[in-house]
Chains A and B, each alone.
Chain A
Amino acid sequence: MKLCFVTVGATASFQKLLEQILSSQFLETLAKRGYTHLLIQYGKDGQQIFQDFIDSDQPHHGLTLGGFDFQPSIDAQMMMTVEREALNQERGLIICHAGTGTVLAGLRLGVPLIVVPNPDLADNHQQELADELEAGNYVISSSVNDVGNAISRAETQKAEVLSMRTGNTTLAESMSDELGFLD
């Protein structure tokens, strides 16, 4: 299984991204790059668009589609994009809005990440974070219309972030100093 997981955020609607994801052109790109599954968390207003697509006879390009509106935690879904041989899982892809929680969770998994800021939401510091992460090569930032082209760029990204995991002891040292432990 090679999964592309798309999340548009639970609070605001992001219909443009949803329409782009369900376009024949995007599905074809996914299929060409070896993806087998597409799972979409479509948010509060997305159900209609998703259902219309399923009911219509538009081509799926061999992809297995799934969708849900909201779940308290999407950790389990994100985990399905991590490479695990025992489960026959290939390294997948996460496409998400610029919500910090989702971006951070994705980075921690070391999965290719495409961040699509929602132009209808003017949240300055979220945009700032997305820019900074793109500049540091941690994520690929893309506009709604360009998502298809961003896939190949995202896949060639190395899991650099995971190498940062080794030994940041600043917090542990700070806590120990404040408590005044004898050396």
Chain B
Amino acid sequence: MPFSFASLSFWDLLLWCAILAITLGAGTLIVLLLSLTISQNIIPPKRRRRGSPTHLLVVLGSGGHTAEMLYMLERMNFDPQIYTYRTYLVSSGDNFSAEKAKAFEAQLGQSYQGHAHSDNYTIVTVPRARRVHQSYLTAPFSTLQCFWACLNVLRGRHPDQKLPKEYSSFYPDLILTNGPATAVCVVAGAKFIRFFLCLAKCAALCLGLRTLSSLTSAPKLRTIYIESWARVSSLSTSGVLLLPLVDRFLVQWPAQAGRRAWWGMKRTQYAGWLVI
């Protein structure tokens, strides 16, 4: 019997549409989960020479997060000769964090004369994902706006960015964060860009367009999340959201160690106190 659209009733059509939608949705979800799992388990290749220019992006947030982040950088004896360029990302209206970052850089400048001066860092501002007391109705829109701004920062398109010429790419090499809401946008943005970079690389390979440089480049847009020292036994909201997204998840209390987003994912790593 020849197939004709006329023989389809409205309900048949609805059924087929529903099946199509469910298949597409499930397919997308599986691809997403699989790619996140694969991405988190890839060990970054050792291809970066010591002393080569390295761009670090530090996400600062409201008072507590910023203080902890700068304590940690200070405690690890942060070396501007290794992390040769720093971008500090702050939310709009957060002058406290911007001032703290400036003070930290000034201190670096004193300890490492000649290596840390104002040309080697920028402070960029992005709109807030959700302001205090903002309605949940408009929050998705402001989050999108924040996400877009973070994407621009990651691609080096923010008007305040002025990366020196010796850096081969605008993408930061490493992203360090400890949990303000903006961090979720930044890390999601980094994953998003890495996904497309990976697709482009695969396409170039298949088409035989591969260039040696693109295959031997050092890892980019890697992400490290450090859960707040104040979190003894439960993860923060940002922590829960970022658990499947970041490359490395450090915790400062033993009870937080060994968590993972789902089977096959990387576990959180106990680091001890990093802020003291």
Contact = CB atoms under 8 A, between A and B. Distances in A.
B46 A180 contact: yes
B233 interface: yes
Contacts of A177: 44, 248
Interface of B: 44-50, 54, 63-64, 67-68, 71-72, 75-77, 82-83, 96, 173-174, 176, 218-219, 222-224, 226, 228-234, 247-248, 250, 253, 269, 271-276
A168 B75 contact: yes
Given A132-B253, A168-B75, A172-B77, A180 B47 contact: yes
Interface string A70-114: 001000000000000000000000000000110011011000000
Pick the 5 closest A-B CB pairs, nearest first. Answer: A170-B271, A100-B230, A178-B222, A180-B44, A172-B76
B75 A165 contact: yes
A182 interface: yes
A122 interface: no
A49 interface: no
A179 B77 contact: no
B174 A100 contact: no
Contacts of A174: 224, 248, 250, 269, 271
B273 A164 contact: yes
Interface residues of A, number: 30
A125 B234 contact: yes
A173 B76 CA distance: 10
A171 B64 contact: no
Contacts of A107: 276
Nearest to A130: B232
Given A101-B64, A161-B276, A180-B219, A171 B44 contact: no
Contacts of B223: 178
A182 B47 CA distance: 6
Contacts, number: 104
A108 B274 CA distance: 11
Interface of A: 72, 100-101, 104-105, 107-108, 125-126, 128-129, 132, 161, 164-165, 168-172, 174-183
B71 A104 contact: yes
Contacts of A179: 44, 48, 54, 173-174, 218-219, 222
A179 B171 CA distance: 13
A121 to B, nearest CB: 14
Nearest to B222: A178
Given A101-B67, A180-B45, A170 B272 contact: yes
B159 to A, nearest CB: 27
A106 to B, nearest CB: 11
Given A108-B71, A175-B176, A182-B46, A101 B222 contact: no
27 contacts: A100-B229, A100-B230, A101-B63, A104-B68, A104-B275, A105-B67, A108-B71, A125-B230, A170-B272, A170-B274, A171-B76, A174-B224, A174-B269, A175-B224, A177-B44, A177-B248, A178-B174, A178-B247, A179-B48, A179-B54, A179-B174, A179-B219, A179-B222, A180-B44, A181-B46, A181-B48, A182-B47
A178 B54 contact: no
A64 to B, nearest CB: 30
Given A104-B275, A165-B276, A171 B230 contact: no
